[in-house]
Amino acid sequence: MKVKRNARLAAVQVIFQYYFSKSDINKIISDFSNLNEDSLKKKKYNSYDKKLFKKIVLGVCNNQNKIKLLIENNLSENWFYERVDPTMRSIISLGVYELSFCENTPHNVIIDEYVSIAGLFFNKTNTGFVNGILDTISKIIRENEGN
């Protein structure tokens, strides 16, 4: 299970870089993978599920309009997408992608994973924000699947 969490954490770093730099995602993935391989050889970084990592990173990039719309439509009235911290936006975007497109992983597992990852960067109030928006979007997705 830890290799999946490490994949998600690595994906947060890569999506953050993608949002921040607007560079080619394949180059960012390649650079990250090369850096990670060097770090693994030096035992400075934990292994991760490379297949999951690539799937969710490319999934967010290929579906960013849908993901952004889902997030925007579920923010509080005084909030807008660009106001959300870039790291938090990366975490939420990955969570929304998995909730929307990764049918083999239960929604509660996805939400728990991204709330835990948010806890590595943010305080309890902010992790509550991540939990709230992912839970709301999860309910919407499940309702739509039922129709």
Q: What is the pLDDT of residues 85-129, one digit of tens each?
A: 999 999 999 999 999 999 899 999 999 999 999 999 999 889 999
Q: Full-prediction pTM beyond 0.85?
A: yes
Are the beta carbons of 60 and 94 closer than 8 angstroms? Answer: yes
Domain that holds residue 93: 2-146
Domain count, the chain: 1
Q: Is 71 exposed, middle or buried (0-12, 13-18, 19+ CB in 10 A)?
A: buried
43: pLDDT strictly greater than 80: no
Cα separations (Å) of 136 from 85, 95, 110, 130? Answer: 19, 12, 13, 10
Token couple for 23: 């560079």
**Residue 82's domain is classified under what CATH number?**
1.10.940.10
pLDDT, tens digit, for every residue of 45-95? 568 899 999 999 999 999 999 999 999 999 988 888 888 999 999 999 999
pLDDT at 147: 53
**Distance, CA of 8 to CA of 13 (rounded, Å):** 9
